[in-house]
Amino acid sequence: MKASLYEYPLSELCRLFRSMRGTLDYVEDEIEALEVPREIKGQVLAVCASLGSAILHASGNAEEIAEGSNSLLAASCVAPEVKSSSLMATIDLIETTLFKELEAMDRLVRRLKTEKEANGAYFLVLTHGADLLQMYDQGRDLLEGMRRGLLQSDGIGAVLKALKFSAHKHRDQRRKDAEASPYINHPIEMAEILACVGGMADVIILQGAILHDTLEDTQTTPEELEAEFGPEVRQLVEEVSDDKRLPKEDRKRLQIEHAPHLSIRAKQIKIVDKICNIQDVTHSPPQSWTWKRRQEYLDWTERVVAGCRGSNQRLEEYYDGKLREGRQILARQG
């Protein structure tokens, strides 16, 4: 069960590793072409080779698990806690190995900065070292999500607790769709898409999706959320909540402006929220909404999601499909 749950995050890791390897190849080619002392070239190439080896090893570990070829994970006779222990060890190994090598690259950048003849090499390694660090941060978020999922053996209970809390808070609310469906249907649908389409097994993001409108649309306070679900969930819900004290147009503008700066989890929640809303606006719009307003809403979601891209390829592709479908339906109705 756990191997299949983490298949998607691990495949995303493999994609990141390939991107990191491509960046390293570029740095190695460029340093050879630069007119810098041979000693400096040697330092850069040595660090690149060491990091490249670490990436290759980490990628191999991730692919083993993703493809189900790891014997401990594949064997049905192995107890769940042993499978979890094996996966946890692999997660820790990937993270610590890559971090150690990126620290070596950081030390190289600081050393090159002090050498007058190394200007070209300094800017090359500084620029692409930053790209590598950003990729590592994305990978670390994926690893952390898997680690947290493994550590929380009561993950299903935690999700159900969030569902019960959200259902109570939204108990008197209805969606704006034509059927005025119960509001709780919306966060349930979001959590389902995160898990079934996005491959998310991270309890924190599932709880965040279920609770994402409680601060914005109910009397729930941040302190209450933290007391019930902890600081990470509270922070995530705050991150995706609008300030209802602001005019609606300001809130919509801020969603676009803030999207690129959200955490990976928050970006995925935003994408899924827009997926669900597009489906409602397309198939069951509020009775008062004109064709033009529905079209403008779809266009606005596209601008918000543009700032969330790079967080989950499956969700992004699913959003793109729903947006195309929505525009085709509106085109026929226009």
Parts of the chain with a pLDDT under 70 = 1-7, 64-88, 148-154
160-175 residue pLDDT tens: 999 999 999 999 999 8
CA nearest to 143, candidates 100, 88, 66: 88
pLDDT of residue 192: 94
Question: In the chain, what are the domain boundaries?
Answer: 2-151, 155-333
- CATH 1.10.3210.10 correct for 155-333: yes
236-281 residue pLDDT tens: 999 999 998 999 999 999 999 999 999 999 999 999 999 999 999 9
Domain 2-151: top CATH class: mainly alpha
Scanning the structure block, which residue is given the tokens 């793109």? 320
pLDDT of residue 163: 95
**DSSP-derived secondary structure for 122-141:** HHHHHHHHHHHHHHHHHHHH
**Residues annotated catalytic, as ranges:** 216-217
CA nearest to 146, candidates 73, 66, 200: 200
pLDDT of residue 75: 42
Long-range contacts of 96-104 (CB under 8 A, 24+ apart): 97/54, 97/57, 97/58, 98/51, 98/54, 98/55, 98/58, 98/136, 98/139, 99/136, 100/54, 101/47, 101/50, 101/51, 101/54, 102/51, 102/129, 102/132, 102/133, 102/136, 104/47, 104/50, 104/51
Please tell me the pTM assigned to this model.
Answer: 0.59
**How far apart are alpha carbons 177 and 286 in whole angstroms?**
5
pLDDT of residue 64: 64
pLDDT of residue 264: 93
37: region left, alpha or beta (phi > 0 left; psi from -120 to 50 alpha): beta
Residue type, 281: V
**How far apart are alpha carbons 210 and 162 in whole angstroms?**
6
